[in-house]
Amino acid sequence: MWGGRFAEGPSAIMREINASIPFDKALWREDIAGSRAHVAMLAKQGIVSDADAQAIDAGLQQIAEEYERDGVPEDWDLEDIHMTVESRLTEIVGPAAGRLHTARSRNDQVATDFRLWVRSACERANHLLGLLMVALVERAGEHADSVMPGFTHLQTAQPVTLGHHLLAYFEMFDRDRDRFADAHRRAGECPLGCAALAGTGFDIDREMTSKQLGFIQPSRNSLDAVSDRDFALDYLQAATTCAIHLSRLAEEMILWASQPFGFIKLPDALSTGSSIMPQKKNPDAAELVRGHAGRIIGYATSLAVTMKGLPLAYSKDMQDDKPPVFEAAQLLDLCLAAIEGMVAKSSFDTARMRKAAEAGHATATDLADWLVRQADIPFREAHHITGAAVKLADQKGVALDGLTIEDYRDIDERIGEGVFDVLSVDASVAARTSYGGTAPVRVREQVAEARKRLGMEN
């Protein structure tokens, strides 16, 4: 492609270190779409004749059919997807193919292709997140009043409802969708026509190509447009936060599926057995989601470090922008689908969850609140009295509602029979009716609200 200036060809090592075709062939659809938009614009502007443009466009369509059918050939001499397509186009169309590269460079070309790819990755994430959120809201509706222990420090804290717990993840994934939508919008500027770095002297129409490729508008600064990879970092950072959420949910499922918890039975289809211990069913998919999250975070870091020292405009380091994004996207899509399957198909052992909520004196706060409300005792003192009740219950090996009224009277004579109304886990969750609280009535409202946000029927 640049033989005019060179006395000898590249060494084998140069060819190998230079080649991006092994991974950037994933951009073939975007590359052909970009070239078709570009040549249509060149023809409209009278820069290329209609006849040449038509031949080039037909050639590009033929290449798309070939790649769809047979895959993209990998010839290191051709370096990347852009040269691979152009070389095939030359075989099909002849020397007129050489007119396609008028008023553009591989620098704006790759920036355009990659933006298109990242924009569809954002759309995919949005779609998969939507499916996961539907699964969460369905399960939350089924379990609006299933009681389970709520934890802080992984110690039993207060009873909560399973529906409430699942909707916590709904909120996280809703924010993730917002981040992907934001990344999608910001990736909406089209670099095509910025050429190598400085723009071009040809009378091109950048509005036209931008529109045809589904972008919002042409990028405003050619130096920025060819050297900017913020859109890829935005995607990876949104993927990082999303992967963190997926990993936390995976971790809870692993915990809940363990024998001491026994809260959940993961679907067989998303579990594995052990080659030596016949009784085992392992939560491998959940563990791999937790593991893959680490890799996704690593890919975000990798691209950030690649970019941080680069002067304007394009440097070849930027060729390394694609593997982290491609690999992170593949892992993220897989993790989203796996977690969706686990949420949709797991069965919850609500009896066991209730039992766990009843152990560990999870309603101690309700006792303290009752003392404040019914006996007008300052909260700090109520906390102290409740501590004495917990101690006595532990000594007798019973729950707080297993103590007798005499036990309570011995601790503090201001305690009356009415206290037993608040000591059950159902009473405890039912009482937490503040906005955003765990009470079944509030959870049902939030389920309805969540369904509305997803555009589902109520």
Active-site residue list: 153, 274
Shortest distance, position 110 Cβ to ligand ARG, whole Å: 4
215 binds ligand ARG (CB under 6 A): no
Kindly tell me which of 105 and 161 has the beta carbon lying closer to ligand ARG: 105
Q: Which stretch binds ligand ARG (CB under 6 A): 4-12, 167-175, 312-320, 359-367?
A: 312-320
144 binds ligand ARG (CB under 6 A): no
104 binds ligand ARG (CB under 6 A): no
The DSSP call for residue 155 is: E
From 89, 97, 100, 110, residue interacting with ligand ARG (rule: CB under 6 A): 110
Shortest distance, position 337 Cβ to ligand ARG, whole Å: 29
Q: Which stretch binds ligand ARG (CB under 6 A): 8-16, 94-102, 104-112, 145-153?
A: 104-112
Which positions from 5 to 44 touch ligand ARG by CB under 6 A, shown as an x/- string?
---------------x---x--------------------
Shortest distance, position 122 Cβ to ligand ARG, whole Å: 20
Which positions from 68 to 87 touch ligand ARG by CB under 6 A, shown as an x/- string?
------------x-------
319 binds ligand ARG (CB under 6 A): yes
Report yes or no: 399 and 389 within 8 Å, Cβ to Cβ. Answer: no
55 binds ligand ARG (CB under 6 A): no
From 103, 133, 318, 343, residue interacting with ligand ARG (rule: CB under 6 A): 318
Shortest distance, position 33 Cβ to ligand ARG, whole Å: 17
CA distance 407 to 373: 20
From 55, 67, 103, 107, residue interacting with ligand ARG (rule: CB under 6 A): 107
Kindly tell me which of 83 and 96 has the beta carbon lying closer to ligand ARG: 83
314 binds ligand ARG (CB under 6 A): yes
Kindly tell me which of 109 and 209 has the beta carbon lying closer to ligand ARG: 109
Q: Which stretch binds ligand ARG (CB under 6 A): 66-74, 106-114, 334-342, 403-411?
A: 106-114
106 binds ligand ARG (CB under 6 A): yes
Give the residues lining the site for ligand ARG (CB under 6 A): 20, 24, 80, 106-107, 110, 314, 316, 318-319
